[in-house]
């Protein structure tokens, strides 16, 4: 516990000193808050917005105000003004509700994307929550994509294996052959840490290998979900089979701090 206490204290101190300076996860890949910026292509990637979560929560008796769209729009504007991206890629789970389109989803998805389109190009990759997203996107002149290849980087949501994407003709084998780095979301990775007095849950990026390719897992961009604990839980899958072999970078106060390999962090918890 003393090790965790020192680690958390050091991480918070480092985050405070960084003042939200983007952190390099790999050469050319910068973490800024919960977003990933690809320097070579000047592409900004965010995943798992889950717009409509507030309305569904109220229907289940949990009072949440409609604050998500304002947060998302302000944070994306900040990122666009800082990085001047050629494109913003929303990598899956734009909406939250399964099997229906809620009133909040109609309003907030169209409003957010319309605002983003005034600032830059927008691309939308489908996630497992987005089966009914296409009608909303038609209102703002966009189409749902199964994946995006940008140079030697593949951006996919993560709710399907690469083989399944090839079978569905979303990707071709020759395209995959040229991919060096895979960027995915879906997992909502987080570190749930305890110093013996309090428990703190931090969103995190994961950097590791998926087969022979480098893989970056991005945290959920929604403010309402810290995520699943990569030290104690298994991946939602099916793209990832384990979090072992990945290095975690925790997001603290908007800054990204390297915590270390998942296996080593897990050992500190025992």
Query: Residue 160, CB half-sphere, CA atoms under 13 Å: how many?
Result: 21
Query: Above 80 in pLDDT, residue 61?
Result: no
Percent above pLDDT 70 for the chain: 89
pLDDT at 57: 67
Query: Above 90 in pLDDT, residue 226?
Result: no
Q: Taking Cα atoms as reference points, which of 1, 26, 8 lies closest to residue 259?
A: 8
Mean pLDDT, range 30-54, rounded to an integer: 95
pLDDT tens per residue, range 205-218 = 999 999 999 999 99
Q: Give a three-class secondary structure readout of 177-230.
A: HCCCEEEECCCCEEEEEECCCCEEEEEEEEEEEECCEEEEECCECCCCCCCEEC
Evaluate whether 178 touches 152 at the Cβ level (below 8 Å). Answer: yes
Query: Above 90 in pLDDT, residue 172?
Result: yes
Q: Label residue 59 by pLDDT band (50, 70, 90).
A: low
Tokens 């991480």 sit at which residue?
A: 11
Give the domain CATH number at 138. Answer: 3.60.21.10
Mean pLDDT, range 227-239, rounded to an integer: 94
Q: Label residue 6 by pLDDT band (50, 70, 90).
A: low
pLDDT at 11: 54
Mean pLDDT, range 177-189, rounded to an integer: 98
Q: Label residue 9 by pLDDT band (50, 70, 90).
A: low
Query: Above 90 in pLDDT, residue 244?
Result: yes
Query: Above 70 in pLDDT, residue 8?
Result: no
Task: Identify the top-confidence range among 5-9, 26-30, 195-199, 234-238.
Answer: 26-30
Judged by average pLDDT, the poorest of 120-124, 186-190, 253-257 is: 253-257
* Dist CA 147 CA 153 (whole Å): 11
Q: Which residues span the domain enclosing 92? A: 2-269
* Dist CA 207 CA 217 (whole Å): 7
Percent above pLDDT 90 for the chain: 73
* Dist CA 96 CA 100 (whole Å): 9
Evaluate whether 43 touches 87 at the Cβ level (below 8 Å). Answer: yes
pLDDT at 237: 86
DSSP string, 18-56: HTS--EEEETTEEEETTEEEETTTTEEEEB---BTHHHH
* Dist CA 74 CA 148 (whole Å): 25
For residue 240, the tally of other CB atoms under 10 A from its CB is: 23
pLDDT at 142: 98
Task: Identify the top-confidence range among 60-64, 251-255, 266-270.
Answer: 251-255
pLDDT at 64: 61
Query: Above 60 in pLDDT, residue 110?
Result: yes
Report the number of distinct structural domains present in the chain: 1
């Amino acid at each position: 516990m003393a090790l965790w206490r020192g680690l958390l204290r050091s991480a918070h101190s480092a985050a405070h000193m960084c003042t939200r300076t983007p952190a390099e996860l790999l050469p050319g890949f910068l973490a800024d808050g919960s977003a990933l910026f690809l320097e070579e292509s000047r592409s900004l990637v965010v995943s798992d917005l889950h717009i409509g979560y507030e309305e569904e929560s109220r229907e289940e008796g949990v009072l949440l105000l409609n604050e998500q769209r304002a947060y998302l729009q302000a944070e994306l504007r900040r990122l666009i003004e800082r990085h001047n991206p050629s494109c913003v890629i929303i990598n899956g789970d734009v909406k939250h509700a399964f099997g229906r389109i809620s009133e909040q989803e109609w309003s907030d998805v169209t409003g957010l994307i319309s605002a983003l389109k005034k600032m830059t190009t927008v691309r939308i990759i489908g996630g497992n929550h987005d089966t009914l997203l296409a009608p909303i996107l038609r209102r703002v002149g966009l189409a749902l994509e199964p994946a995006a290849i940008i140079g030697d980087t593949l951006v996919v949501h993560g709710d399907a294996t690469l083989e399944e994407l090839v079978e569905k003709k979303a990707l071709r084998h020759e395209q995959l052959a040229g991919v060096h780095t895979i960027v995915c979301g879906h997992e909502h990775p987080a570190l749930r840490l305890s110093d013996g007095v309090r428990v703190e849950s931090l969103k995190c990026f994961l950097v590791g290998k998926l087969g022979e390719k480098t893989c970056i897992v991005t945290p959920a961009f929604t403010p309402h979900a810290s995520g699943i604990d990569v030290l104690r839980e298994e991946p939602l899958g099916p793209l990832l089979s384990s979090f072992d072999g990945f290095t975690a970078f925790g997001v603290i106060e908007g800054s990204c701090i390297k915590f270390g390999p998942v296996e080593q962090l897990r050992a500190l918890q025992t």
